[in-house]
Structure 1
Amino acid sequence: MTSTTSSRTTAAGGPPGGPPPGTLPISLPARARWAVSDSWTVTRRYLIHWVREPSYIVWGLMYPMVSVLLFGYVFGSAMVVPGGGDYREFLLPGMFGMTMMFGIGNTMMGVTTDAAKGIADRFRAMPMARSGVVVGRSAADMLNSVMDLVVLVGCGLVVGWRAHGSPAETLAGIGLLLLLRFAFIWVGIYMGLIAKSPETAGNLYALLFPLTMISNAFVAPEMMPGWLGTVAAWNPLSSTVAAIRELFGNPGLGGDSWIAQNAMLMAVVWPLVIVAVFLPLSVRRYRLARR
């Protein structure tokens, strides 16, 4: 990366954020190439860090594994699914979606930890694309999320969950889960950038519990009190979970509200809206930090 950044400084007299007066501007294609290169460099940095610190990956995978086994076996025999069906098959799509949402906390903690260690400041001091840092972080987290999902599906098969849809429907369901995770990555990056310390990020992490519980992940919204059921139904997590239950052929479909009847549509719309809001906010926040 040293030779690359040196050539940029020579070509433009400064970082890609904007050359000083009197120098030739950097072309748009060159900016795009540098942004992609910087994003991949940052992605590799996180992947290498995880390889050198395998405990991070192990503990990250332990939570979804324990959650599936705990909820599947401890509560599985006591819960009733509206319309009938096995509770474990009702539960697992909710657990898949919940794990994607809890990724907000992992991303947030990673961003604040980098800031506390001065890594973010070193990135800012280098002549690199400002978007490369946040895009690289999102790419690394997506790769980590794929691994989480593979482990979760394996645990689900152990406790009796099955996807009864066609291979194409199963892949579409996994795609919706990863789309939701991609959207929540940008929420986590933004929250990590505005958090003042890892301790503050840890406190914000606690807010994820009510956001995941007030959804259809564990209990159908129609079994909740009226107002709470409405809030749960309009939770973006609920739309994705309802959609993948339909694609996987799992029990728990129902609800007469508009949001319940259009879960497949909203499972795409919600993540796109979240990305449209938080991606530019994250990039802008990173550019303005410590300016």
Structure 2
Amino acid sequence: MKLMINHQTHYQYSDWAKNSIQYIKMMPQTNEHQQIHTWDVSVPGQKHIKKDAFNNIWLTSTQREPYQQMLIMAQGIVEVNFENQFGITNSLSPALFLQPTTTTLCNSEMLAFAKCYVDQRTVLNFQKLAEALLNYMPYTTASTSVTHTAIESFSMRQGVCQDHSHVFIAMAKALDVPARYASGYLYVQNQSHLASHAWAEIFLDGQWHVIDVSNQIFRPDAHVYVAIGRDYWDVAPVRGIREQGGIETMYSIVQVLAC
């Protein structure tokens, strides 16, 4: 199925900003799960493209002129293989995704919770853990921010897809199972998906398995991959620095439609 994706990120500043550098990871790649027919990222300034340590496409934009508004827009057409059952493969060792990060640390309470459902390291048991985790911390819009760690989100007993992914990854790694963070888009039939999406994946039996805690989806039927990493900070769609600018406000619009 071909999907048309339009992702707009709008920034506004209370004062003039200048000399900004934006680090953008909003460029999906063709792989065994998806084919990129067209894709473009529109952003002001001088652009440079390279790949990061996880093989994600990394666009850097430098803008010297003063501005008070900025629009970053990514759009294109992606054809998804809905028959695919597993996460995408790459040349990276799964052991890389056992590395701890500040955002995906696991405490004793979280580990005890995980062991209630994963007495043996099977995909089915991890799916049961995902179901229990969603019941324990229901999806709650705007309940957290990107700065929340897995431990903080678990203690709050609520969160969004980013939090679900961080908590699940933390638990999986504590059980000595490689786990990674995937960012991208989700196609929901007859609806416009209002935000970019994140999900977790675990490496078992020689394959990467999708664990989308927020939607209880366990294969990438409706997903478009943009980037993979150890946590949100490895794959953040937009990060940047600037001089001045005052108070920044931001909102995003994302549409994923069949075409």
Q: TM-score, normalised by structure 1?
A: 0.22
Q: Which has the higher strand share?
A: 2
Of structures 1 and 2, the one scoring higher in RCO (CA 8 A, sep 6+) is 2
Q: Which has the higher helix share?
A: 1
Select the structure of larger CA radius of gyration.
Answer: 1
